[in-house]
Amino acid sequence: MVGQTLGPLRFIPGKNRGRYPYCNSVYIEEAGILIDPASDRQILSELRDTHAVREIWLSHWHEDHFRHLDLFEDVPFRISERDHPPLTGIETFLDWYAMENPEYRAFWAAMVRDQFHFRARKPAGFFQDREIIDLGSLTVEVVPTPGHTPGHLAFYFRESRILFMGDYDLTPFGPWYGDLLSDIDQTIESIHRLKAIPAEIRLTGHETGLFSGSVEKLWDDYENVIYERNRKLLNLLASPKTLDEVVSAWIVYGRPREPEAFFEFGERAIMKKHLDRLVKKGRIDQNREKFQIKN
């Protein structure tokens, strides 16, 4: 099987370097546990065909982390109870993305069904925050890391000092926190929680995916993306702007991209979170449809 062996774990890189719509997977060979089955369909099919997978773990509910879950219809899976509702049906799934635009909803519904093989699934059980799971020769600590999603989880393999961080991925793009129940401040708290874990190897869901040694600067750069987005937004709001005008500045993605139903939606979702947070903190005023820095 293609991948890299890390003690009791096998790191399975996703296609296209684990970039969306794929992610990196982790396989715990001794226990037959596959985490986030969205890496490489051929490799995962081989695991299925040899009956090597006895349980699926999902770090969170996003489509690029369950893309190939359909290969394992008879295999039980676990997730945080806080992240379970979107997996119960496509309409709830779209609601959790705060997807209101009818055209965008139609685009996403088709994409999630056709490309990500979505179907309603019922988990065999739920992870508990800070739960310690005994897998025989290794123990796993379930680390709650909300912000990206309300029930996002990291998994710390204590004996090996390996930490799988899911979508806290240390990429230059920075964190995503655009869902209905995403939260910027929780994201920052989760970054700090993950930084404090004494891991020697860190695995992530996307791109590079495997980090050893010190990653202090990467953590700082990753967190600073949040503050840089905020800084650019405040500069923009020196004069009143509507949400549409804020979105058209492309602070997150840098420029317009296609498909619009993906990128414009993402830009709007993240900027709305920043605007709501700044209003709550008293940094900006909202007068009808326009936002502006407080005088």
Please report the pLDDT score of residue 295 as a whole number.
73
Q: Which domains are seen in the chain, by residue range?
A: 4-213 (3.60.15.10), 232-293 (no CATH)
Which residues fall within 8 angstroms of residue 79, CB to CB, at 6 or more apart? 57, 58, 60, 61, 87, 123, 126, 127, 151, 153
- Asked if residue 76 has pLDDT above 60, the reply is yes
pLDDT digits (tens, 9 = 90+) for 130-168: 999 999 989 999 999 999 999 999 999 999 999 999 999
pLDDT digits (tens, 9 = 90+) for 279-289: 999 999 999 89
Q: Which residues pair with 287 in a beta bridge?
A: 290
Distance CA 19, CA 221 (A): 19
Q: What are the φ/ψ torsions at residue 26 (nearest 5 degrees)?
A: -125, 135
Average pLDDT over residues 21-26: 98
Angle at 174 between CA 109 and CA 79, to 5 degrees: 50
Confidence category of residue 3, pLDDT binned at 50, 70, 90: confident
Distance CA 4, CA 103 (A): 41
Mean pLDDT in the chain? 96
Give burial (CB, 10 Å; 0-12/13-18/19+) of 265: buried
Please report the pLDDT score of residue 2 as a whole number.
63
pLDDT digits (tens, 9 = 90+) for 174-209: 999 999 999 999 999 999 999 999 999 999 999 999
pLDDT digits (tens, 9 = 90+) for 94-133: 999 999 999 999 999 999 999 999 999 999 999 999 999 9
pLDDT digits (tens, 9 = 90+) for 232-277: 999 999 999 999 999 999 999 999 999 999 999 999 999 999 999 9
- Asked if residue 1 has pLDDT above 60, the reply is no
Which residues fall within 8 angstroms of residue 12, CB to CB, at 6 or more apart? 1, 2, 3, 24, 25, 26, 27, 39, 40, 43, 44
